[in-house]
């Protein structure tokens, strides 16, 4: 019981910090803790999910030092319950898998389960090694303990290597050298889209250099910059850096601690260390990013209104062409909820509420009620973005001055990305207008095709669909009538050998389905019959061979006949004894193939009499 208490407390704190159960890194450790607690509960007779019920208790105990846990207790409990339910399903599958492995050992006359298989039960199904060993011993079997330990060792090595930092210019090397003399790059992008800056570091091929020429890919560090570095889900700025004699196109901006690194290519002249340059971001792109970033804050607020307070942000992407918002929710958003979200969003946009940013201490921001995002880590001083009197979030990104600048909001997709995590993708501003314009063009074109006014388009389409359905019924009816009549004609013209009717013909303008229906109709009308029907379409031959049951009992085989006649038309064939199909690419040989089939059938029948 002490272990359960310890594990559930750790799990709750992990989830509160934004770490969700998963298969990698911290999420994997958290999942192992939860599964261990579930197994301990099973030993104590806890057959149903129980860990999630402990969340309110721990939230109350920890309310003073960690008030955010109580605020998020419902969401944390949902996540834990979902993980418990999934693990119980996994345990059931693990038991089933162990039974299969034990049965396999018995069939092969073996008594030892391999270490690899025992590790799979442990790693995939959550089976503790001791449980696997105990169940095997009860059945008179053993397990390769050394092999299991080897697998565990390899897993630990994989985990260790995956957590090690890989060497690159952002972690060590030239950037670390720059950090020795420069504490930070001053970001001026909140106030300005253009700055006069000094180059304090140039990197080419992961080496510090004094200059770079046209054609070279470079990383640049300035003393100050208007370029926003990728962070908090917002993509980095692009733009140009220039002097009267040189020009660099910046394609991305990233951050290493407090140093902003500009990634680009020299397209004109030469740039030098300590040179003064003009930095200009792509203003149109930045404006689109600002619209989308402010929209994510509005969306966060609106989602919690529509689907519940548990709909906390889990992640985001803010790009110029779209926004992506991940949040906690355990079922798909319904169509009427999507419509309501869009309605509320656009109402807030049209209100043109002011968007005001303030810098303050983290404690002051929390006391003021600002929302700290799930899993984000903050310094002592933070930036708070206020929208109207309803949204207040800690955020270092760039934003519009008022909600009206967002222009228009439109959701383009809603989906699941993980257990308990949903994703909304949306567009704003010009992108949303472009989408509406495209839909209007599509509607205009559809109205032209339907020869109907816009307000009558749906009714007209429904009428046409019904007409098509009615016509299809008529066609099917006439086909059946035609097949019956055609079958009668075929029977009348059929040859007879030793009391067996042999029906053959080449049908024009029919498909394989029609051939089979004709065959079925013929077999219902005749007790002892051999049928070979063919058709040609687009330079290909299709032949159907079918035999009544009495002929099959005498040793005739439609599949063998199909194989033989397929060679004549340059193809292949085969099938069951009573029904088979052949195909080929020599349509002019179709009658020759049918003649061969008649000969084969005749010889077989005569040999049987």
Sheet strand arrangement including 391-394: 355-361, 381-387, 391-394
Interval 270-281 mean pLDDT: 96
Residues of CATH 3.10.310.40 domain(s) within the chain? Answer: 482-608
Residue count of the chain, please give it.
Answer: 609
Percent above pLDDT 90 for the chain? 60
Q: C-alpha dihedral over 46, 52, 54, 59, to 10 degrees?
A: 170
**CA distances in angstroms from 67 to 360, 400, 520, 601, listed in the order given:** 20, 32, 75, 87
Give DSSP secondary structure letters for 431-472: HHHHHHHHHHHHHHHHHHHHT--GGGHHHHHHHHHHHHHHHH
Q: Which residue in 340, 355, 283 sits closest to 306, CA to CA?
A: 340
21-35, 51-65, 102-116: segment of lowest average pLDDT: 21-35
Higher-pLDDT residue of 215 and 490 is 215
pLDDT in tens, 81-93: 988 988 888 888 8
pLDDT in tens, 443-498: 999 999 999 999 999 999 999 999 999 998 888 777 666 656 667 778 888 888 88
Give DSSP secondary structure letters for 576-590: -SSEEEEEES-GGGH
pTM over 0.85: no
Interval 130-139 mean pLDDT: 84
pLDDT in tens, 400-427: 999 999 999 999 999 998 778 899 999 9
**Res. 231: pLDDT tops 60:** yes
Question: Considering the domain 482-608 in this protein, what is its CATH number?
Answer: 3.10.310.40
pLDDT in tens, 499-541: 888 999 988 878 888 888 888 888 888 889 999 999 998 889 9
- Residue 315's Cβ-count burial label (10 Å; 0-12, 13-18, 19+) is middle
Residue 72 phi/psi, 5° resolution?
-110, 15
Between 283-306 and 335-351, two packed helices, what is the crossing angle to 10 degrees?
120
Q: Which residue in 152, 38, 30 sits closest to 91, CA to CA?
A: 38
**CA distances in angstroms from 483 to 473, 490, 514, 567, 582, listed in the order given:** 15, 10, 8, 29, 22
23-37, 248-262, 344-358, 575-589: segment of lowest average pLDDT: 23-37
Whether domain 174-281 has CATH 2.40.30.130: the reply is: yes
Interval 95-118 mean pLDDT: 90
Question: Considering the domain 288-435 in this protein, what is its CATH number?
Answer: 3.30.980.10
Interval 357-369 mean pLDDT: 88
pLDDT of residue 161: 62
* Distance in angstroms between the alpha carbons of the first and the last residue of the chain: 84
Residues of CATH 2.40.30.130 domain(s) within the chain? Answer: 174-281
Residue 184: HSE in the Cβ half-sphere, 13 Å Cα cutoff: 6
The token duo for 559 is 């599949």
How far is 446 from 333, CA to CA, in rounded Å? Answer: 29
pLDDT of residue 584: 93
* Beta-bridge mates of residue 202: 209, 220
The token duo for 110 is 């073996």
pLDDT of residue 604: 87
Residues of CATH 3.30.980.10 domain(s) within the chain? Answer: 288-435
**Res. 339: pLDDT tops 50:** yes
Residue 342, helix vs strand vs coil: helix
pLDDT in tens, 287-302: 999 999 999 999 999 9
Read off the pLDDT band of 319 (50, 70, 90): very high
pLDDT of residue 169: 54
């Amino acid at each position: 019981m002490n272990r359960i208490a310890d594990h559930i407390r750790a799990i709750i704190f992990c989830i509160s910090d934004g770490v969700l159960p998963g298969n990698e890194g911290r999420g994997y450790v958290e999942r192992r803790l939860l599964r261990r607690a579930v197994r301990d509960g099973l030993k104590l007779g806890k057959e149903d999910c129980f860990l999630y019920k402990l969340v309110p208790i721990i939230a109350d105990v920890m309310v003073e030092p960690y008030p955010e846990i109580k605020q998020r207790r419902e969401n944390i409990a949902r996540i834990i319950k979902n993980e418990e339910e999934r693990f119980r399903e996994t345990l059931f599958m693990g038991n089933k898998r162990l039974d299969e492995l034990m049965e396999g050992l018995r069939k092969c006359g073996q008594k030892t389960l391999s270490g690899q298989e025992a590790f799979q039960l442990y790693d995939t199904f959550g089976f503790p090694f001791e449980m696997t060993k105990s169940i095997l011993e009860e059945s008179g079997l053993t397990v390769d303990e050394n092999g299991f330990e080897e697998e565990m060792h390899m897993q630990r090595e994989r985990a260790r290597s995956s957590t090690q930092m890989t060497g690159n210019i952002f972690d060590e090397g030239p950037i670390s050298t720059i950090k020795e003399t420069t504490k930070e790059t001053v970001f001026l992008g909140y106030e300005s889209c253009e700055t006069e800056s000094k180059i304090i570091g140039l990197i080419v091929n992961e080496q510090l250099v004094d200059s770079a020429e046209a054609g070279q890919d470079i990383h640049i560090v300035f003393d100050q910059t208007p370029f926003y570095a990728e962070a908090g889900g917002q993509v980095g700025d692009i733009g140009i850096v220039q002097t009267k004699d040189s020009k660099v196109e910046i394609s991305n901006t990233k951050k290493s601690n407090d140093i902003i690194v500009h990634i680009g290519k020299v397209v004109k002249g030469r740039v030098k260390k300590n040179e003064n340059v003009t930095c200009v971001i792509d203003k149109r792109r930045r404006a689109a990013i600002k619209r989308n970033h402010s929209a994510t804050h509005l969306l966060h607020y609106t989602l919690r209104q529509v689907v519940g307070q548990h709909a906390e942000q889990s992640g985001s992407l803010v790009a110029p062409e779209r926004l992506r918002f991940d949040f906690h929710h355990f079922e798909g958003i319904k169509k009427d909820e999507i419509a309501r979200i869009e309605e509320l969003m656009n109402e807030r946009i049209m209100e043109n509420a002011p968007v005001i940013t303030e810098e303050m201490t983290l404690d002051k921001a929390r006391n003021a009620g600002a929302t700290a995002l799930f899993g984000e880590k903050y310094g002592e001083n933070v930036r708070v973005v206020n929208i109207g009197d309803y949204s207040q979030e800690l955020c270092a990104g760039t934003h519009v001055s008022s909600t009206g600048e967002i222009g228009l909001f439109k959701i383009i997709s809603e989906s699941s990305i993980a257990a308990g995590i949903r994703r909304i993708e949306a567009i704003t501003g010009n992108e949303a207008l472009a989408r509406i314009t495209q839909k209007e063009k599509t509607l205009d074109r559809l109205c032209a095709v339907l020869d109907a006014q816009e307000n009558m388009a749906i009714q007209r389409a429904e009428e046409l669909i019904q007409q098509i359905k009615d016509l299809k019924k008529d066609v099917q009816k006439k086909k059946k009538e035609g097949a019956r009549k055609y079958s009668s004609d075929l029977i009348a013209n059929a040859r007879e050998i030793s009391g067996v009717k042999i029906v053959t013909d080449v049908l024009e303008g029919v498909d394989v389905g029609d051939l089979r229906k004709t065959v079925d109709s013929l077999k219902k009308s005749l007790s002892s019959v051999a049928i070979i029907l063919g058709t040609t379409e687009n330079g290909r031959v299709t032949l159907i061979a079918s035999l009544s049951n009495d002929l099959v009992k005498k040793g005739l085989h439609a599949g063998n006949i199909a194989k033989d006649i397929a060679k004549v038309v340059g193809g292949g064939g085969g099938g069951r004894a009573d029904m088979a199909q052949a195909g080929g690419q020599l349509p002019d040989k179709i009658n020759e193939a049918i003649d061969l089939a008649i000969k084969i059938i005749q010889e077989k029948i005569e040999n049987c009499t």
